[in-house]
Amino acid sequence: MRSTTVPTRSAAALAVLAACAAVLGGGGPSGAVPTAATGAPQAVQQTQQQQAQSDTCDIYASVPPSSVDGPAVKAIKARRSLVIGVDQNSYRWGARNPNTGQIEGFDIDLARAIGTAIMGDPEKVVLKPVATADRVDAVQKNRVDLIVRTMTVNCKRMEDVAFSKPYFSITQRVLVPKTSPAKNLDEAIGGRNVCVAKGSTAADVFDPAKNGAKKDAGAHLTVVENQLDCLVLMQLGKVDATMTDDGLAAGQAAQDQTVRIVDGDVQPEVIGVAMLKGSTDLTARVNQVLADYHAGGEWGRSYDRWLKPYMLNDAEHYWPVPH
């Protein structure tokens, strides 16, 4: 499998934005993590099986929730600002509204809620755009205090950063132009030019060094800094397909009516808030906010506003419940 890296560019400025339907209100969903998908290519199925065997950590493990301010939280409050790394290019999750200039979406609602709960003042919360590939580095080098940016929890990342309890369940999906003849995931990536974001779980699916996947899917990978760049490349006819998680895939399909999500998904996963290892009290505070955010209905209202009209398999629900 060959790999090409595409330099960072202003993908948001290039993407063709389609008009979207107004979102509908309703109750917040809760339920189980989506079940494993069927119909995946043989190489991806093997990847999924081997990863399940090699991942021995508990992706739901985190410190108990607490409202007590420990040394990490006190240091942030003394600095008078909490810096949260977010996305600004993922429609419905974290994207800049061209009319207001403000970043908005499901993850942005959560980031603001966490920041306001910890700092007691929304004016002390700083949202800092961070590229997909820079998420871990931004935490480890103290450029941000938290990452709220569709970040999958897995064993390797748990060695590098601390995670909150998961707040969303996802799987990997594939987008193609509506003109593509591909009927399923196998046809969409087998022997095709597939775009993935650097440092993403989608990139790991195709990386033999990380999961032992065979190369018999024959995919040619194009690697970009941010997943929205993949949408631009599909619009330009430079790639045949994009692999990303189903939440981001749904956002791209809502953003651009010329692309669609093919049948089939792989690798059920969960998303969490990332922060510096060792900042146990900060992790506990975030977990308390997450528990309150869901119990109070804010999670459900944000989900209904930003994601519910566009998510596939909505009946499976997306608030994660440990097995």
Q: Does domain 3-19+33-55+170-268 have CATH number 3.30.565.10?
A: no
> The tokens of 48 are what?
């999924």
pLDDT for residue 181 is more than 80: yes
Residues 6+ apart with CB under 8 A from 291: 65, 165
Domains 3-19+33-55+170-268 and 71-167+270-316 are alike in CATH topology: yes
Output the pLDDT for position 43. 40
User: What's domain 71-167+270-316's architecture?
Assistant: 3-Layer(aba) Sandwich (3.40)
> The tokens of 150 are what?
């569709």
In angstroms, rounded to a whole number, what is the distance separating the alpha carbons of residues 291 and 299?
Answer: 10
In angstroms, rounded to a whole number, what is the distance separating the alpha carbons of residues 146 and 142?
Answer: 9
Q: Show the DSSP H helices in the chain as ranges.
A: 11-14, 42-54, 71-79, 106-119, 135-140, 155-160, 185-189, 201-205, 208-211, 228-235, 246-255, 280-295, 298-306
- The ranges assigned to domains in the chain are 3-19+33-55+170-268, 71-167+270-316
pLDDT for residue 5 is more than 50: no
In angstroms, rounded to a whole number, what is the distance separating the alpha carbons of residues 145 and 273?
Answer: 10
In angstroms, rounded to a whole number, what is the distance separating the alpha carbons of residues 50 and 59?
Answer: 16
Q: Give this prediction's pTM.
A: 0.80
Q: What percent of the chain has pLDDT over 90?
A: 70
Closest CA to 132 of 76, 72, 195: 195
Closest CA to 247 of 200, 296, 193, 184: 200
Name the pLDDT band for 13 (thresholds 50, 70, 90): very low
In angstroms, rounded to a whole number, what is the distance separating the alpha carbons of residues 44 and 188?
Answer: 12
pLDDT for residue 55 is more than 80: no
Q: CA 55, 60, 65, 69 torsion: positive or negative? A: positive
In angstroms, rounded to a whole number, what is the distance separating the alpha carbons of residues 293 and 273?
Answer: 14
Q: What share of the chain is helix, strand, coil (3-state, %, to 5)?
A: 35, 20, 45
Convert the pLDDT of each residue in 107-152 to its tens digit.
999 999 999 999 999 999 999 999 999 999 999 999 999 999 999 9
pLDDT for residue 61 is more than 60: yes
> The tokens of 138 are what?
């931004």
More confident residue, 281 or 220: 281
